[in-house]
Structure 1
Amino acid sequence: MNYLNKLERKIGKYAIPNLSLWLVVTYALGYLMMYMTPGIISYLMLEPAMVLRGQVWRLVTWVLIPPSTGNIFFYIIMIMLYYSLGTALERTWGTFRFNVYIFGGMIFTVIGAFVAYGFLSVTGGLTIGIGYYVTTYYINMAIFLAFAVCFPNMQILLWFIIPVRMKWMAYVYAALTIYDFVTTGAVGRISIAAALLNFLIFYLSTRNYQRVSPKEVHRKYVFKTQMRDAEMRHSGGVTKHKCAVCGRTEKDDPTLEFRFCSKCDGNYEYCQDHLFTHEHIKRS
């Protein structure tokens, strides 16, 4: 990631430290606003049609909508979990890279919303209602998946009881995301893909592709060929089989079969022509 290193040297000083805390505060503020004024959510959603009509605040206020608006107890648990995961990622990657990851997901989500708007405009679909698909749920999902990639064997207590490794939880979340992607409509698919694009870029950029590169494959092939030729040269004229009567080996006739005689005293091997006709060797 040389481009990130260069970017960090230029604008790294502007990165927001402890970004996970700011996300938690944002979610809490949004949850409080919706609890006190339920109808306000319709003015916070990212509706591209409304943005193009001048309601530009929607480009930012959709982040106030928390990932879940259900039971307050589970909401608090979720907030605490994502805060701890985000903090751990920031310590692992550094403040700047974590900022890029989070804000990149948000920017991709906004772009995805306008792509969905353009798709509906061309196909004659209803362009109002896109905001219901644009949430921070998959932004937080990207945090969870990135943490699972970095710490696959770390255990968490599911429902505070069952110890589960992060990689298995990630598989479950990935399966649920794939199910949502398949069962939802075109707008939902665009929103999911856009929100998780930052994780896809992160995952692909951290893989080691050198072992499958054409240059590496050719190098391995040449190495194996050289080792095989060296082994053949080292063995020289040594053979694996030799008849104790006629002295023929597998080099004289590759179709010859050789067997050891169980009635001879010692390890004497005979070709197929002398296996049953030779005189058994007995030690006195």
Structure 2
Amino acid sequence: MDLISKLEKRFGSWAIPNLTIYLIGIQLLGVALLMSGRAVLTDFILYGSGVVDLGQWWRLLSFMMIPKTLSPIWLFFAFYIFYLMGNALEERWGAFRFNLFVLCGYLLTVAMAFVNPGAIITNIFFLGCVFLAFATLFPHFELRLFFILPVKVKWLGWLTIASYLILLFSGDPGTRLSIVAALGNYLLFFGKAFFNGFKAEKRRQSFVAETRKVERQALHVCATCGVTDQDDASVHFRYCSTCGKCFCTEHIGNHNH
């Protein structure tokens, strides 16, 4: 039994079902506050110095309220896809494991705010980690880009990883820290599976190489002239009943014991 299974056995009753709905609800609240003018984006952003030096503890939660866009149409599709992915993960993993995945991602992201207190930490990569988990567990699920072009989600996952790696070296400090948190959370849940898969692939390649090596080895070799069944497939071979050696048909009758 792995660690997560042990934790689930002990704390499984604490899990919040349909957590995705609550995550969407938090962002909808942020959208309402921003669109109504009751708040501005700087009220929500997370940076460590604001929490520690200014005592603005609400930022530990408010950064989760920041939407990626305020366009109603794009918000609708973004929330719909996020709900689809989160619900699928919860059905596959169970509520506790999905809760733990979100909680670990949140805690790692918040921790990054105190690694560099002046850096602005975003929720984009934390929520993007949910997409990476979905792409890993449901790689053949198809999304339609621009509502026309069908693309398997695994390819979008690889593009997401590539963009994360690019930003990891070229982004601002807050972006880099947010990506470290997101990738750290992803590896926490999928790193072992990737490692085991890598070892299994190495074993498979080794087996294939050994099989090909055996296939290339000659099965019959004439003890007189050295011709093999690999040299000429039309040559026939016989084994001497006296000495037990292998000879081609040309030398089976005229060899010396």
Identity of aligned residues (%): 29
State whether residues 29 and 64 of structure 1, in contact with CA within 8 Å, keep that contact through their aligned partners in structure 2. Answer: yes
- For residue 260 of structure 1, report the CA deviation from its aligned partner: 8.5
Runs of 4+ in 1 over 3 A off after TM superposition: 210-213, 257-261, 267-270
Q: State whether structure 2 residue 24 is matched by structure 1 residue 43.
A: no
Separation in 1 of the partners of 2:130 and 2:62? 20
Separation in 2 of the partners of 1:241 and 1:61? 82
SS in 2 for 1:139: helix
Deviations 1:183-228 (A, max 9, x none): 2133321221113321122221223528739xx97xx89xx7xxx8
Q: State whether structure 2 residue 48 is matched by structure 1 residue 61.
A: no
In structure 1, give the amino acid aligned to 2:226. Answer: E
Q: State whether structure 2 residue 97 is matched by structure 1 residue 100.
A: no
Once structures 1 and 2 are overlaid, which stretch shifts more, 81-90 or 195-204? 195-204
Deviations 1:28-75 (A, max 9, x none): 111111111264332222121121132212112211112x12422112
Q: Which of the two has higher C-alpha Rg?
A: 1
Taking structure 1 as the reference length, the TM-score comes to 0.70
Partner of 1:171: 158
SS in 2 for 1:164: strand
- For residue 24 of structure 1, report the CA deviation from its aligned partner: 0.9
Partner of 2:226: 250
SS in 1 for 2:194: coil
Partner of 1:188: 175
Separation in 2 of the partners of 1:20 and 1:38? 25
Counterparts of 1:70-219 in structure 2, within 5 Å, are 70-117=70-117, 127=118, 130-131=119-120, 134-207=121-194, 209=196, 212=199
State whether residues 126 and 178 of structure 2, in contact with CA within 8 Å, keep that contact through their aligned partners in structure 1. Answer: no
In structure 2, give the amino acid aligned to 1:75. Answer: L
Partner of 1:278: none
SS in 2 for 1:196: helix
CA RMSD after TM alignment: 3.3
Deviations 1:151-197 (A, max 9, x none): 11121212221111111111222222222222213332122111332
- Residue segments in structure 2 that go unaligned for 5+ positions in a row: 236-247, 252-257
Separation in 1 of the partners of 2:145 and 2:134? 16
State whether residues 20 and 87 of structure 2, in contact with CA within 8 Å, keep that contact through their aligned partners in structure 1. Answer: yes
In structure 1, give the amino acid aligned to 2:10. Answer: K
Are residues 190 and 249 of structure 1, via their aligned partners in 2, closer, same or farther at CA, if it must alter by over 3 Å? Answer: same
SS in 1 for 2:46: coil
Taking structure 2 as the reference length, the TM-score comes to 0.77
